[in-house]
Amino acid sequence: MPELPEVEVVRRGLERHVVGRVVADVDVLHPRPVRRHVAGAEDFADRLAGRTLTAARRRGKYLWLPLDSGDALTAHLGMSGQLLVQPATAPDERHLRVRLRLRPEPGTPGVELRFVDQRMFGGLGLSEGGAVLPPEMAHVALDPLDPAFDDAAFARRVRASASGIKRILLNQTVVSGVGNIYADEALWRARLHGERPGRRLSAADVHRVLAACREVMLSALEQGGTSFDALYFNVNGQSGYFDRSLEAYGQEGRPCSRCGTPIRRATFMNRSSFTCPVCQPAPRRSPRRAAGPGGAEGADRTRRTASGGPASRVDEPPTS
DNA sequence: AGGGCAACCTGGGGGC
DNA sequence: TGCCCCCAGGTTGCCC
């Protein structure tokens, strides 16, 4: 599950191994990953052939490689995407979707840039005139590691919002690069429950969770960034960070390392959230009760277990 | 208008 | 043994 650190590791790998190379030709083996290119897979391949990849850039979880044509090759890894640099002789990966053959340099073996993606939530694109910043990414905010990230503006925006802080952290138009895993980790570090409405947080709360986002992402970046020396680089969220350093995400039932209380899993936003019920107390009432006029569905009232069960969570098992 | 949420995908794993 | 359902979650697009 690539979030900012994993994508940044890929960017560095691209910078090192493919920038300056010329695309010889392109095979689109599955149409879905280039679905965003409305002119079709063939046009996508034609526009890349013969072009030089001049840089490797990133915004949030999006990548792009400016071309000498002024266009850009764009990439998003989605949930399961990988960008691999492989010798042309390497056997095809099971989920190989797009192959870019790079023009061989004298005296070196042929190399390919391969987009491999099991689930195909991600994809490649060709952004016209997108070398500086693809318009398709203009809506994406800066990430917290960007020196130009405006902490004060972020705090103002959070504190003006009725949404839960986790939802805000996952909103790429507010802050980019944070996904479900690092959101949970940052909230655990900041001792904040993800359903706490932004407008009920103090400025100190917001700065604390922002600092925590930076800490967890930098920590992951250090660990991931040490392991891609080889020509082959493979990043799909499996950095060592995942095994060693997670305090909350995926730790259901394990004792919180601060207070020993078992970490709890809850369903939120159609996915899992992991929290320490003691360090990260849930907001008192459901975040907003009947925020709007149409609260019919919300009739499912806050479920409360006296013995310290789930404080307030709506658990709806999908109907089968 | 902006927030909330289902759909998009596939393979692995658990349960029966 | 085999099948079926659930689960993972980033982003888009639709609905309210």
A291: the nucleotide nearest its CA (via C1') is B3
Query: Is the C-beta atom of A269 closer than 7 angstroms to strand B?
Result: yes
- The encoded tokens of residue A247 equal 């305090």
Concerning whether A106 is annotated as a catalytic residue, the answer is no
Concerning whether A134 is annotated as a catalytic residue, the answer is no
Query: Is the C-beta atom of A79 closer than 7 angstroms to strand C?
Result: yes
- The encoded tokens of residue A274 equal 């992991």
pTM over 0.95: no
Concerning whether A316 is annotated as a catalytic residue, the answer is no
> What single-letter DSSP state applies at residue A108?
S
A163: the nucleotide nearest its CA (via C1') is B3
Q: Which amino acid is at A205?
A: D
Distance CA A59, CA A70 (A): 18
Indicate which residue of A94, A271, A297, A318 is catalytic: A271
Concerning whether A61 is annotated as a catalytic residue, the answer is yes
Write the DSSP string, A130-160. -SSS-GGGTTSPPPTTSTT--HHHHHHHHHT
Find the Å distance, CA of residue A146 to C1' of nucleotide B8. 31
pLDDT in tens, chain A (320 residues): 688 888 898 898 899 889 999 999 999 999 999 988 888 899 999 999 999 999 999 999 999 999 999 999 999 998 888 899 889 998 998 889 999 999 998 887 789 999 998 889 889 999 999 999 999 999 999 999 999 999 999 999 999 999 999 999 999 999 999 999 899 999 999 999 999 999 999 999 999 999 999 999 998 888 765 444 343 444 433 444 555 588 998 888 899 999 999 999 988 877 899 999 999 999 876 544 433 333 333 333 333 322 333 333 323 332 32
pLDDT at A244: 58
Residue A306, helix vs strand vs coil: coil
Distance CA A75, CA A136 (A): 11
Residue whose token pair is 């009947």? A290
pLDDT at A235: 41
A292: the nucleotide nearest its CA (via C1') is C16
Query: Is the C-beta atom of A118 closer than 7 angstroms to strand B?
Result: yes
Distance CA A73, CA A71 (A): 7
pLDDT at A243: 54
pLDDT at A36: 87
Residue A163, helix vs strand vs coil: coil
pLDDT at A191: 97
